[in-house]
Structure 1
Amino acid sequence: MISPVWKVISSLLLMLVSCQIFAQAGDPAVPANPSGYLLLDKGLQYRVTKSINSMYDFDFVTAERDFAVIMYQYPEHPLPDFLMALGYWWRIEVDVTNTKFDKIFIQYLDRANEKAERMYKEDPKNKEAAFFLAAGYGFQGRLYSERKSWTKATWAGRNALKYMELSRGEEEFNPELLLGDALFNYFSVWIPENYPILKPVMALFPKGNKQLGLQQLETVASNAFYTRVEAQYFLFRLYASEEKRPYDALRISEYLHTKFPNNPYFHRSYARHLYTVGRWTESVEKSVEILDRIEQRQYGYESNSGRFAAFYVAEYNNRIGNKAEAKKYYLKTVAYGEESESQESGYYLHSLIQLGKMESESKNKELARKYFDQVKKYAKRKHPAHKEARDFIKKNKL
């Protein structure tokens, strides 16, 4: 059972430490910097904020040019290497099944960790060094858990936890930690609720308060200068899944897509939330934009986003009785699903079922049976799609 344990734990650590570094790097209201910590340098904060905004909008050329300047100015500090790693994390985030950025992502994190380790050895009371080590190991744990490298994920997660505790207690950092505290309050309760086996592990953490965590997230999302974006990112995910507040998820994803129109993750999330609340024509409009950008080879738009977008267009056309267009886009969904190796996803399986039904109606029983057999191949037996495929084959004698 170690797999889900450390996947969830490393994900939690990622959310805590990554949001804390954003909070510290971007708020212009931070007071004077008597500690000498680079994260609290007000001039650098403005520069980093602008650069990270470019990164969010998938303008990596601009962002990394700025990060390289910071690296030149502060060659022994972990911040610029960490920021470079962050840019590669967002490339991974769009499609976590794509491994082509793993190596360079880990290389930048290793460099940041090495520099932070040197700082920490020189001064074990250096909270900034401990903070970067927590962040670096937290991100490594997240990637290793995605890759099912559970031993590495466990090691990284334990290191992240150790340094996260050591990074606390600096007076000047405290106003910047609300987002991290909010996520901790929420997920330290959510994890044992959804994974009872993790209760002994979560006993290592202070006790949280899920409702307080959600309120803190909402406060940050409404009032923070830079961390507003991070808080909104997590809020729309929680509203859409755990909290069952689809209209709130839509409101936030619309804002993020408007602010960062070239971010494919925010783009497809907006299309998804439009579809969820029944604003289908608008969802189709955004989905067609995504598909057009894939055709134009716009950076970051790839098969995973295409699978989402094609499905929404297919479903809309199926609802209005335009079977030819529906079939066209169900086929696109299947093709994008195979390209992204997402054959176990719900959209892929549902598209195969719809295609099978269409071919059955057209008396193409051989092709219909082929689609249903694909569902049985990729869906687990207890999955609703597997049962639907079995029942349809039996009822229609395919």
Structure 2
Amino acid sequence: MFSPVPHRFRAFISYLMVSCFISTTALQGQILRDSASLNLLKQCVDDIYDFRFDDASYASQKLNKSFPEHPVVYLVNGMITYWKNYPLIPSSLECNSYENDLRSCISLCEESYNQVDYAEYLLANLGARGMLLLFYADNDLSENVFPLAKGTYRYIRQCFDYSSFYYDFYFFTGLYNYYREAYPDTHPVYKILAFLFPKGDREKGLREMQISAQNSIMLKGESYSFLSHIYMHYENNYQQAYDFSKSLYELYPSNLQYLGSYLKNMFLTKKYNEAENIIRSSEGKLMNSYFQAQLTIFNGLLQEKKYHNYALAKKLYTKGISDMAPYGYYGNDYASYAYFGLSRISDIDDDKSGRKAYRKKAIEMTNYKKVNFDD
């Protein structure tokens, strides 16, 4: 039986792979030799992350017309599917096409023996593997994560040979340097396993990711996203996490995942008025049910923390938990925030059994017990 893989370490593996593909802008390759195609690819990636899917699909079609059956096109199509159907869960109708596109990309890359284009194919291969790992890990499909991750490591090691080519690669090296040291520190059970990998440097990793966030062409979003997550969950510096999530939101204001992260950091830094303005401006807009469930939980936090309307907060937390249930493991972190809130309200109501039961449930649902909004 495989054990669950914590959220951002799972995403670390996957985004690591995606970064390898996107960061090849300084290398030679079929698509990347042509400046017009390179600019089209850059715009396509921006369109994907800012949820402009019609524009992204049009760009993908143009790339496919110029470079038919190129693995990069399959990777781009997988990225479009992932974000267009965010959050992608096992019951999603698009899962088959998502997996097929990414496995087609991997197969095309591994069947190519053209040394001139090896870097581009290597990194597209890693990108596709990363997107698959992201999907499997986000949904606690550990039986799929570990075999794929095991076969991917040798490709990751090859990428270190390219770390000096471009600013974007600082994202890759930064993630490795940071998580190689930070993850075993917070999860001691993995310390023995960590000895199998070259040592990292926690501080250097943070500096490298900040270089990527400030200077890279393609990976600013991912760099800001991970910096925000790291400062929130590992460094416990909520103000710094807020600053990075704000930069990310301003870069891709239509991305619902990044908007949720921004709101979370507002509550952690007690910026309740700012959070309320964002919540109110989001209400009534056409958004998916997953983000609507997040908004319900954030509204619960707002009623509890700003207005001290505990009865309404309790109703909102309960509704948020119910609305998040269809998303299973994917929604556990947000459901835990609601359970932590119900525990606090039970304490105010002098309901000791409720306080303990809700808190126990919250702790069971999250890997980051300090992010509970208790303070």
1:195 and 1:2 map into 2 onto residues whose CA distance is: 16
Letter in 1 for 2:74: D
In structure 2, the residue matched to 1:303 is 289
Letter in 2 for 1:55: I
2:262 and 2:162 map into 1 onto residues whose CA distance is: 38
In structure 1, the residue matched to 2:369 is none
Scaled by the length of structure 1, the TM-score of the pair is 0.77
* Structure 1 residues not aligned, in runs of 5+: 362-367, 386-398
Q: CA deviation at 1:4?
A: 4.5
2:88 and 2:345 map into 1 onto residues whose CA distance is: 25
Q: CA deviation at 1:197?
A: 2.9
Out of 235, 238, 246, the position equivalent to 2:238 is 246
In structure 1, the residue matched to 2:320 is 333
* 1:313-332 equivalent positions in 2, closer than 5 A: 313-319=299-305, 320-322=307-309, 325-327=312-314, 329-332=316-319
* 1:94-173 equivalent positions in 2, closer than 5 A: 94=87, 99-120=92-113, 122-123=114-115, 126-169=118-161, 173=165
CA contact (8 A) 1:22 1:226 kept: yes
2:324 and 2:345 map into 1 onto residues whose CA distance is: 14
In structure 1, the residue matched to 2:21 is 21
CA contact (8 A) 1:267 1:290 kept: no
Out of 42, 58, 69, the position equivalent to 1:65 is 58
2:341 and 2:228 map into 1 onto residues whose CA distance is: 26
Out of 158, 163, 171, the position equivalent to 1:179 is 171
In structure 2, the residue matched to 1:87 is 80
2:117 and 2:66 map into 1 onto residues whose CA distance is: 24
1:97 and 1:177 map into 2 onto residues whose CA distance is: 32
Letter in 1 for 2:68: P
In structure 1, the residue matched to 2:70 is 77
In structure 2, the residue matched to 1:263 is 255
Q: CA deviation at 1:63?
A: 0.5
Q: Deviations over 1:13-63 (max 9, x none)?
A: 3232212222224xxxx4xx6x44434543322111111111111111110
1:249 and 1:151 map into 2 onto residues whose CA distance is: 32
1:124 and 1:43 map into 2 onto residues whose CA distance is: 20
Q: CA deviation at 1:186?
A: 0.7
Q: CA deviation at 1:326?
A: 3.5
Report SS of the residue matched to 2:284. helix
* Structure 2 residues not aligned, in runs of 5+: 367-375
Distance change in 2, residues 1:289/1:383 (3 Å) = same
Rg (Cα) greater in structure: 1
2:332 and 2:9 map into 1 onto residues whose CA distance is: 27
1:228 lines up with 2:220 in the alignment: yes
1:195 and 1:316 map into 2 onto residues whose CA distance is: 32
Distance change in 2, residues 1:253/1:97 (3 Å) = farther
Letter in 1 for 2:82: W
CA contact (8 A) 1:130 1:164 kept: no
Distance change in 2, residues 1:38/1:312 (3 Å) = same
Letter in 2 for 1:65: Y
Letter in 1 for 2:177: N
Aligned residue pairs total 362
Distance change in 2, residues 1:314/1:142 (3 Å) = closer
Q: CA deviation at 1:86?
A: 1.4
1:328 and 1:270 map into 2 onto residues whose CA distance is: 24
CA contact (8 A) 2:336 2:361 kept: no
Distance change in 2, residues 1:130/1:99 (3 Å) = same
In structure 2, the residue matched to 1:279 is 271
1:349 lines up with 2:339 in the alignment: yes
CA contact (8 A) 1:311 1:330 kept: yes
In structure 2, the residue matched to 1:364 is none
Distance change in 2, residues 1:343/1:53 (3 Å) = closer
Report SS of the residue matched to 1:208. coil
Identity across matched positions, percent: 18
Report SS of the residue matched to 1:221. helix
CA contact (8 A) 2:303 2:313 kept: yes
1:161 and 1:144 map into 2 onto residues whose CA distance is: 17
Deviates more, 1:259-268 or 1:128-137: 128-137
Scaled by the length of structure 2, the TM-score of the pair is 0.82
CA contact (8 A) 2:23 2:169 kept: yes
Q: CA RMSD in A?
A: 3.6
2:168 and 2:90 map into 1 onto residues whose CA distance is: 33
1:206 lines up with 2:198 in the alignment: yes
Letter in 2 for 1:163: Y
Letter in 1 for 2:284: D
Distance change in 2, residues 1:52/1:21 (3 Å) = same
1:357 and 1:214 map into 2 onto residues whose CA distance is: 39
